[in-house]
Amino acid sequence: MKTLLTLAIETSCDETSCAVVKDGREVLSNIISSQIEIHRRFGGVVPEIASRKHIESINNIIQESLDAAGVQFSDIDLIGVTRGPGLVGALLVGISAAKALAYGLDIPIVGVNHIEGHICANYIEHKELEPPFTCLVVSGGHSYLLEAKGYNDYELVGRTRDDAAGEAFDKVARSLGLPYPGGPFIDKLALEGNSEAIEFPRIFLENKSYDFSFSGLKTSVLNYINNMEQKKEEIVIADVAASFQQAVLDVLVEKTFRLARERGSDKIVLAGGVASNSGLRSMMKRRGLKENIAIYYPNSILCTDNAAMIGSAAYFNYISGIESNLDFKVMPNLGLEY
Ligand code: KG4
Ligand code: ZN
């Protein structure tokens, strides 16, 4: 089959990203322009500012991605773009640019589910990886446990009922006075702290449920901090970080392995920003060795938001016959359930 070059655009949150991906697995360029420094002083992403910044940089980022890949518009066969979930104004910037390119170049376009993009980041990192596998998607906006039965065939088995895993990391980090986004700071601090210092709850929900809930844990950490402050006792931030992180990881790891065992799966795939957590990676690997299950995760750049993963998802959709019309709509609340 002829090789297929995808130009992909991702603007769902605070990263303006554009990539050129060959045959869904080979990244020729992956330019990521992060707005984090701008949003940091507000303690989180400000949607209006995010949209404006995307508009300012999108054209340059597209050109940069072509230059870095050493290709021109005329070499591109397919456009991929995140259609949701995400911030509506931010998504619209990427979608408008993508539609204009598809129309002007007269090539097909695929509107991609951002969560599927996170999963597909693994196809880039692990050239030999193929479905089926058990997959844990944990990011700032989503926590899903699923069975990937094919390249675009997912059985959703569990999801968060309140906060996403990354959101819990960010909120706890904020209460500890750490910068936004707090996940990577908690990760680092946890390495120096004692994970058994404070007994935070593990929320497993009903027997056999594969859903998650992190808001009770978050509240429990906030209560601990308030109590300590009232009693004027010293808070050892590293211990809070390590104990909180361990409470999250215990639940994530236990439920993921339970599902893999139930389905007879020999592969567990991690995706999303929280998949770059060093504690999660090592705990998964240790347990995987014990239970003879292979663990896959992308490198950190591919874990957090980037356009290469969108290019991969667009490719695998396209070769299985999925294509979008030029009038497709933005879907800010899109989930993994189709
Ligand atoms: O996938 P992502 O870039 O954006 C969404 O689609 O939401 O994920 C960002 C999230 C943030 O909540 C961030 O704190 C978290 O991923 N994160 C981490 C780590 N690196 C990023 N959480 C824990 N440990 C990390 N090392
Ligand atoms: Zn994401």
Interstrand relation of 5-10 and 15-22 (parallel, antiparallel or unpaired): antiparallel
| Residue 98 half-sphere exposure toward CB, CA atoms < 13 A | 38
Assess contact for 14 and 49: CB atoms under 8 A. Answer: no
Task: Please tell me the distance between residue 87's alpha carbon and the centre of ligand 1 in angstroms.
Answer: 16
Closest ligand (CA of 160): 1
Task: Please tell me the distance between residue 105's alpha carbon and the centre of ligand 1 in angstroms.
Answer: 35
Give the closest residue (by CA) to ligand 1 atom 20: 184
Interstrand relation of 78-84 and 109-113 (parallel, antiparallel or unpaired): parallel
> Which atom of ligand 1 is nearest to 173's Cα?
14
Q: What is the pLDDT along the chain (338 residues), one digit of tens a residue?
A: 789 999 999 999 999 999 999 999 999 999 999 998 899 889 888 999 999 999 999 999 999 999 999 999 999 999 999 999 999 999 999 999 999 999 999 999 999 999 999 999 999 999 999 999 999 999 999 999 999 999 999 999 999 999 999 999 999 999 999 999 999 999 999 999 999 999 999 999 888 899 999 999 999 999 999 999 999 999 999 999 999 999 999 999 999 999 999 999 999 999 999 999 999 999 999 999 999 999 999 999 999 999 999 999 999 999 999 999 999 999 999 988 75
Assess contact for 71 and 28: CB atoms under 8 A. Answer: yes
Q: Which residues pair with 81 in a beta bridge?
A: 9, 111
Kindly report whether the global pTM for this prediction surpasses the value 0.85: yes
Q: Report how far residue 285's alpha carbon sits from residue 196's, in angstroms, rounded to the nearest whole number.
A: 21
- Site residues for ligand 1, CB cut-off 6 Å: 13, 118, 139-141, 166, 169-170, 181-184, 187, 272-274, 276-277, 304-305
Q: According to the model, what pLDDT value does residue 165 have?
A: 97
Strand order across the beta sheet in which 15-22 lies: 26-34, 15-22, 5-10, 78-84, 109-113
Q: Report how far residue 210's alpha carbon sits from residue 75's, in angstroms, rounded to the nearest whole number.
A: 44
Q: According to the model, what pLDDT value does residue 207 have?
A: 83
Task: Please tell me the distance between residue 114's alpha carbon and the centre of ligand 2 in angstroms.
Answer: 6
Q: According to the model, what pLDDT value does residue 338 have?
A: 53
In sequence order, what are the residues at sequence separation of 6 or more whose Cβ sits closer than 8 angstroms to the Cβ of residue 174? 43, 180, 182
The first and second tokens of residue 313, run together, are: 């998802």
The first and second tokens of residue 60, run together, are: 């340059």
Task: Please tell me the distance between residue 233's alpha carbon and the centre of ligand 1 in angstroms.
Answer: 31
Give the closest residue (by CA) to ligand 1 atom 24: 277
In 3D space, the residue among 148, 94, 87, 92 whose CA is nearest the CA of residue 116 turns out to be 148
Interstrand relation of 133-138 and 267-271 (parallel, antiparallel or unpaired): parallel
